[in-house]
Chains A and B, each alone.
Chain A
Amino acid sequence: MGHPNVGKSVFFNRLTGAKVFESNYPGTTVDFTKGWMHLGGEDVELIDVPGAFSLEPKDLAEEVAVKMLEENRDSVVICVLDATKVERGLYLALEIIERGYPVVVALNMWDVAEDKNIRIDVEKLERILGVPVVPTIAISGEGFKELVSKIKEATPVKIEKIIENAGGVESAAVSG
């Protein structure tokens, strides 16, 4: 899962080798695609979920994304984030973690982030979130081996644990 235009479908193509097409237009892959990938000797089903900014759906494409997440309660979620826009990416990633899914975070477009002088401390982020975090470049395929090898390490994390690791959170002082 991930925002529209972060290269989810390129990801999907790389992991499965199936024929799907990626498009830059938000929502073009509303028809979701399924494929199979090799993982430790067995074939695992992989679903390309339509782009969503949040699990509070604001259009049909996001609704589909949320539904698909709910229908696949036992799956591991690969959350593809735009490394140049980590903050709003984390918003979606946290929403998924809060719902109790095991997550692997891919920081895609790592090269663009480097060009833009954005430095992300991957290890620290991994420690705080408690889930695997892997920098990737979907177009060149960098980071994919590591990503695949870490899928099995993903476990559900309690949000309280993340809050503790991050050093607390201001409780709902402002109305939410």
Chain B
Amino acid sequence: MEKKLSEMDFDEEGTVKEIEGTLRKQVAGMGIREGKNIRMATKQPIKGPVVVEVDESLTSLGLGVAEKIVVEVG
């Protein structure tokens, strides 16, 4: 099933399916890209940022950023 990264539950894992336009270049250097396994490490309450894990690196993304990433889960 596909969903937005921002909709993933805490500790849920998935595979990055699609990253929107300009964001791709911005996160590419941090190791976030299509085909990578991604895990939701933490979610902050009241629309705060998420922290995801890719290749054992933690990256914090604003919720609006996370909405631009589609993940295949389950």
Is the beta-carbon distance between A87 and B25 smaller than 8 angstroms? no
* Bound-state Cα–Cα, A92 to B55, Å: 16
A26 nearest CB across to chain B (Å): 11
Within 8 A of B (CB), among A34-78: 52-54, 56, 58
A90 nearest CB across to chain B (Å): 10
Is the beta-carbon distance between B28 and A91 smaller than 8 angstroms? yes
* Bound-state Cα–Cα, A52 to B28, Å: 12
Is the beta-carbon distance between B26 and A56 smaller than 8 angstroms? yes
- Residues of B contacting A: mostly: loop
B16 nearest CB across to chain A (Å): 13
Within 8 A of A (CB), among B28-73: 28-31, 34, 55-57
User: Which range contains the number of A residues in contact with the other chain?
Assistant: 10 to 19
* Bound-state Cα–Cα, A121 to B17, Å: 30
Q: Which residues of B contact A158 (CB under 8 A)?
A: none
Q: Which residues of B contact A52 (CB under 8 A)?
A: 29
* Bound-state Cα–Cα, A58 to B32, Å: 15
Residue on A with the closest CB to B54?
A88
Is the beta-carbon distance between B29 and A87 smaller than 8 angstroms? no
Interface residues of A (CB under 8 A from B): 52-54, 56, 58, 84-85, 87-88, 91-92, 95, 174
